[in-house]
């Protein structure tokens, strides 16, 4: 595994050498100073400043790094430089695809959502930052969506991947065998059972290798809340279009992400799935791609006005958050009364708390379930009503969660 540095911009190489110096990294022939001493044979007055060295010298030094961990560090930094340059450049000459990448990376939540460091060796870090703006011209796009299960150690395990290209041709629709014991398959949501996964033969590495050629060629990854998919895929790639960050509600008092279902109803004219129907990776990936194409090819607006129907759908949901990783979906279903379907969202960090939606047949039933649950009532940071609920797990331990309404009680 080596970096293809010969065609990299000199400024990128200079910044990579400076990073090596700051971190004290050492290649096969030592650090930067040792490399120069050996090359110049301690010639007096030889400059150490990378900017005063030739492109060839910088390449020669950086190619002495062979360890995967070091190469990941270099590629991560180059990818950060790519995003920084995009933000600094004028948007006048942006392609439509690049404009959506810009909208994604300029969103206030981007830096937190897409901070995947530190990387373990089983991560794939794309090398597009090394190639810098040559890859920004690529208009190729690949949309991705994943299904996850809860593993014994509290982490999310990848069990299914769907991916489509710009023409909605299916690239991937595969089950994946997790490398850890599973405690919750979330079958009601994923439609996946232990029996299905037992037959799976592909690993995470197999999926990474399938996507790698697209990423190395500068393709844009598209998805809704794509950061969660990349986290479980263990892929770091800077060219992303996240439809959860691109689109927004008009006249929202505080930033609120639009669900994939509401986006599809507003922009495409249909909902991606009916309530109670299991997720389908390929359908969700296709929906995200269609949303991106609606803006790119049909100039659809990225600001939507919530309809009365959307508002009613939101009223029929309760949001459960700060759920400890050891609480399974079966345990969670015992918290609220009534008829509902559960939609679990994976944790942002390993062993971190996760969140979920309880979807009721009507807003009246959601309101009743909120009233019935025993807990201390207050408001969240958005000013929405919520309760702190304490309950007992089957193991005997006690945990706390928050149950929150999706809209204000006085919303019309």
Model confidence pLDDT, tens digit, residues 141-184: 999 999 999 898 888 899 999 999 999 999 999 999 998 999 98
pLDDT of amino acid 66: 92
Q: Mark residue 41 as left, alpha or beta (left: phi above 0; alpha: psi -120 to 50; beta: remaining).
A: left
pLDDT of amino acid 328: 87
CA distances from 194 to 83, 170, 244, 393 (A): 40, 25, 31, 23
Domain spanning 309-405, CATH architecture: 2-Layer Sandwich (3.30)
Model confidence pLDDT, tens digit, residues 208-244: 999 999 998 889 999 999 999 999 999 999 999 999 9
CA distances from 335 to 72, 125, 398, 399 (A): 43, 40, 12, 11
Query: Counting Cβ atoms within 10 Å, is residue 287 exposed (0-12), middle (13-18) or buried (19+)?
Result: buried
Distance in angstroms (rounded) separating the CA atoms of residues 266 and 247: 11
Q: How many CB atoms lie within 10 A of CB 120?
A: 9
Residue 404, both tokens: 């929150």
Distance in angstroms (rounded) separating the CA atoms of residues 282 and 146: 9
Residue 352, both tokens: 């971190």
Model confidence pLDDT, tens digit, residues 360-377: 999 999 999 999 999 999
Of 403, 399, 227, residue with least CA distance to 325: 399
Model confidence pLDDT, tens digit, residues 313-330: 889 999 999 998 888 888
pLDDT of amino acid 271: 85
Which residues in the chain show pLDDT less than 70? 1-2, 42-46, 118-119, 132-136, 252-255, 274-276, 348-351, 410-412
Under a CB-based contact definition with an 8 Å cutoff, are residues 151 and 182 in contact?
Answer: yes
Distance in angstroms (rounded) separating the CA atoms of residues 377 and 397: 23
pLDDT of amino acid 155: 85
Distance in angstroms (rounded) separating the CA atoms of residues 117 and 100: 24
Q: What residue spans in the chain does CATH classification 3.30.70.330 cover?
A: 309-405
Residue 98, both tokens: 């690049």
Distance in angstroms (rounded) separating the CA atoms of residues 320 and 301: 31
Q: Which residue has the tokens 């309809």?
A: 307
Is the dihedral angle over the CA atoms 226, 228, 234, 236 positive or is it negative? Answer: positive
Distance in angstroms (rounded) separating the CA atoms of residues 281 and 160: 7
Distance in angstroms (rounded) separating the CA atoms of residues 320 and 322: 7
Q: How many CB atoms lie within 10 A of CB 203?
A: 15
Respond yes or no on whether the N-terminal peptide bond of residue 118 is cis (omega within 30° of 0).
Answer: yes
pTM for the predicted model, two decimal places? 0.83
pLDDT of amino acid 410: 64
Considering the four listed CATH numbers 3.30.420.10, 2.60.120.560, 1.10.150.120, 1.10.10.10, the one that applies to the domain covering 113-304 is: 3.30.420.10
Q: Which strand (E) or helix (H) includes residue 72? A: helix 68-88
Distance in angstroms (rounded) separating the CA atoms of residues 196 and 192: 6
Under a CB-based contact definition with an 8 Å cutoff, are residues 403 and 335 in contact?
Answer: yes
Residue 181, both tokens: 């014991």
pLDDT of amino acid 233: 96
In a 3-state reduction of DSSP, which class is residue 35? helix
Under a CB-based contact definition with an 8 Å cutoff, are residues 216 and 128 in contact?
Answer: yes
Of 118, 104, 34, residue with least CA distance to 70: 118
Q: Which residue has the tokens 């690049």?
A: 98
φ, ψ dihedrals at 400, nearest 5°: -125, 145
Instruction: Tell me the DSSP string of 341-384.
Output: EEEEE--SSTT--EEEEEE-SSHHHHHHHHHHS-SEEEE-TTS-
How large is the angle between the packed helices 32-40 and 10-23, nearest 10 degrees? 110
pLDDT of amino acid 291: 98
Distance in angstroms (rounded) separating the CA atoms of residues 103 and 392: 43
pLDDT of amino acid 87: 87
């Amino acid at each position: 595994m080596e970096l293809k540095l010969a065609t990299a911009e000199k400024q990128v190489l200079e910044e990579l050498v400076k990073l090596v110096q700051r971190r004290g990294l050492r290649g096969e022939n030592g650090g930067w100073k040792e490399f120069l001493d050996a090359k110049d044979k301690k010639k007096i007055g030889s400059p150490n400043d990378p900017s005063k060295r030739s492109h060839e010298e910088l390449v020669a030094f950086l190619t002495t790094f062979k360890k995967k961990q070091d190469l990941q560090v270099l590629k991560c930094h180059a990818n950060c430089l790519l995003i920084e340059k995009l933000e600094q450049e004028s948007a006048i000459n942006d392609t439509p695809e690049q404009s959506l990448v810009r909208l994604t990376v300029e969103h206030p939540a981007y830096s937190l959502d897409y901070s995947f460091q530190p990387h373990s060796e089983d991560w794939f870090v794309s090398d597009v930052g090394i190639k810098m703006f040559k890859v920004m011209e690529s208009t190729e796009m690949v949309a991705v969506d994943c299904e996850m299960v809860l593993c014994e150690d509290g982490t999310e395990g990848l069990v299914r991947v769907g991916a489509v290209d710009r023409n909605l041709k299916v690239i991937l629709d595969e089950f994946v065998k997790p490398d850890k014991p599973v405690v919750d398959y979330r079958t009601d949501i994923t439609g996946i059972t232990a029996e299905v996964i037992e037959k799976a033969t592909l690993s995470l590495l197999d999926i990474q290798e399938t996507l790698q050629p697209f990423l190395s060629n500068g393709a844009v990854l598209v998805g809704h809340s794509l950061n969660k998919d990349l986290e479980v895929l263990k892929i770091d790639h800077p060219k992303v279009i996240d439809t959860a960050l691109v689109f927004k509600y008009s006249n929202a008092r505080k930033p609120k992400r639009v669900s994939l279902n509401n986006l599809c109803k507003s922009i495409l004219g249909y909902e991606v799935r009916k309530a109670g129907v299991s997720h389908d990776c390929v359908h969700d990936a296709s929906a995200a791609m269609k949303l991106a194409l609606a803006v790119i090819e049909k100039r659809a607006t990225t600001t939507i006005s919530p309809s009365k129907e959307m508002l009613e759908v939101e009223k029929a949901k309760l949001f459960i958050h700060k759920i400890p990783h050891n609480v399974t979906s079966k345990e969670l279903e015992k918290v609220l009364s009534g008829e509902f379907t559960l939609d679990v969202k994976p944790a942002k960090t390993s062993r971190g708390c996760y969140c979920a939606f309880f979807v009721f047949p009507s807003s009246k039933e959601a309101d009743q379930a909120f009233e019935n649950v025993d807990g201390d009532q207050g408001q969240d940071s958005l000013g929405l009503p919520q309760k702190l609920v304490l309950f007992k797990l089957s193991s005997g331990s006690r945990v706390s969660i928050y149950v929150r309404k999706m809209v204000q009680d006085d919303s019309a």
